Amino acid sequence: MLLLGRVVVGPDPSGRALELLDAGAVVVEGGRVAWLGPREALPARWSGESGAAGEPACRRVEAPLVTAGLVDAHTHAAWVGSRHAEYAMKLRGEGYEAIAARGGGIVASMRAIEEADVDAIADTLARRLARMASLGVTTVEVKSGYGLRPELERRQLAAIARVAGRADLPRVVPTFLALHALPPEARATAETRAAHVAAAIAMVPEIARARLAAYVDAYVDRNAFTVAEARPLGELARAAGLGVRLHVGQFADVGGAELAAALGAASADHLENVSRQGLDAMARADVAATLLPLASFVLAQRPPDVAAMREAGVRLVVASDANPGTAPSESLPLAMAFAARLYGLTTDEVVLGATAHAARALGLPALGRLSVGAPADLVAWDLPHEDALLEPWGVSRASLVLRDGRPLHAAL
């Protein structure tokens, strides 16, 4: 396949700006990018209307704009059920933490996992990922974390693994969200709490052996888990060969950024409440800062201090946080639009944050950029310019979405 148009190649050598081809060409062969460059330099073997004798003509797609497939580096996409009643409570002014304290929130989603079997969870996730693909997303990080109890976490991870095996959906990077909330039975005393944390940590070696997760995550915040609880989880994950990503500073700065740096985490996410020292520690340890503007919008929060992040020199990632509580959306493009409008990110920061920087933060540095020999995960957009990627809120403008050169979505 030959794609012709304005091509967003990936980051330039500074890593801070986009490299572009105004009139570019991308050749896809055997699931990979076979050639990439200015249209006028396209080798003759691909530029003709028909291929060599006996070969079919190369399919040509003229697209105004071509980018790498979008990479959503933070989702809870394996949820089932609906928390619309809580959303109505939020609209009436109830706080997220207050709803959770009354048995709603994450525990409400745990109840839904309890009621569902692996097939039902996998089916819901697969349909959600197909909708994400239709928006231009070709790689999705998917967390567990709604099982809470070991047997239910295993159920959710098994469902994620089943869907991760499908080539007709976006790539899945599975994360074991080991410490997300306490199940009701663990809330009674300090001992039951400690037993819950210990049981979650004890699952790490088994999950690593069965390759059910590439990363381990913990929600490090007030009304969630402490640095002291999350640290041994992270250390064991690293020792077992898994990466670490953390929910940090969504409501309060309890030292999660410094912990992420000490653990060599791939990413610290949310970051509405983080100190400059925490950001500096992240920058030194090359921990990405994953911004989740849909969640802070739903919670009516002040945006994170993006200027301090830029000064500290952390790489910015933009993700959807797709979940039924704080980010009831499946749309990374919507998160990108909000990152620009609410957080003041530039087009280059948003696009890099949803492509190359996101892929790198998932340990997949060949994705999120277009380069010869890399998997042909790319999107042809019905949009004239990369600035326009930040505008069409609430609709898909992806006309062709390829993963490994094969269409996940086509609306040509």
- The CA distance from 151 to 155, in Å, is 6
Residue list 67-106, contact with ligand NIG (CB under 6 A): 76, 105-106
Of 36 and 220, CB closest to ligand NIG: 220
| Cross-sheet strand order for the sheet of 378-381 | 32-38, 18-29, 2-11, 60-68, 378-381, 398-403, 406-410
Of 270 and 315, CB closest to ligand NIG: 270
Candidate list 273, 290, 301, 326; residue touching ligand NIG; CB under 6 A:
326
Candidate list 217, 321, 330, 377; residue touching Fe ion; CB under 5 A:
321
Q: Which two tokens stand for residue 306?
A: 């993006």
Q: CB of 155: closest distance to ligand NIG in angstroms?
A: 17
Strand partners, 380: 66, 400
Q: CB of 215: closest distance to Fe ion in angstroms?
A: 13
Beta strands in 267-404 (DSSP E): 267-270, 288-291, 316-318, 378-381, 398-403
Candidate list 176, 215, 219, 343; residue touching ligand NIG; CB under 6 A:
219
Candidate list 6, 111, 155, 247; residue touching ligand NIG; CB under 6 A:
247
Q: CB of 181: closest distance to ligand NIG in angstroms?
A: 8
Of 323 and 396, CB closest to ligand NIG: 323
109 binds, among Fe ion, ligand NIG, none (CB under 5 to 8 A by kind): ligand NIG
Q: Count the residues of the shown chain that bind ligand NIG, applying the rule CB under 6 A.
A: 13
Checking DSSP bridges between strand 60-68 and strand 378-381, what pairing results, if any?
A: antiparallel
219 binds, among ligand NIG, Fe ion, none (CB under 5 to 8 A by kind): ligand NIG
Torsion angle, CA of 289/292/295/298, rounded to 10 degrees? 120
Residue 109 binds to ligand NIG (criterion: CB under 6 A): yes
Of 272 and 321, CB closest to Fe ion: 321
Residue 221 binds to Fe ion (criterion: CB under 5 A): no
Q: CA triplet 212, 179, 266: central angle to 5 degrees? A: 65
Q: Is 202 left (phi over 0), alpha (psi -120 to 50) or beta?
A: alpha
Q: CB of 368: closest distance to ligand NIG in angstroms?
A: 21
- The CA distance from 265 to 282, in Å, is 9
- The CA distance from 306 to 310, in Å, is 6
Of 106 and 263, CB closest to ligand NIG: 106
| Cross-sheet strand order for the sheet of 171-179 | 70-72, 137-143, 171-179, 215-220, 243-248, 267-270, 288-291, 316-318
**Among positive and negative, which fits the CA dihedral 137, 256, 225, 302?**
negative
Residue 330 binds to Fe ion (criterion: CB under 5 A): no
Residue 295 binds to ligand NIG (criterion: CB under 6 A): yes
Q: Which two tokens stand for residue 340?
A: 């620009």
Of 221 and 321, CB closest to Fe ion: 321
Using CB under 5 A, list all residues that contact Fe ion.
321
Residues that bind ligand NIG (CB under 6 A): 76, 105-106, 109, 219, 247, 250, 295, 321, 323-326
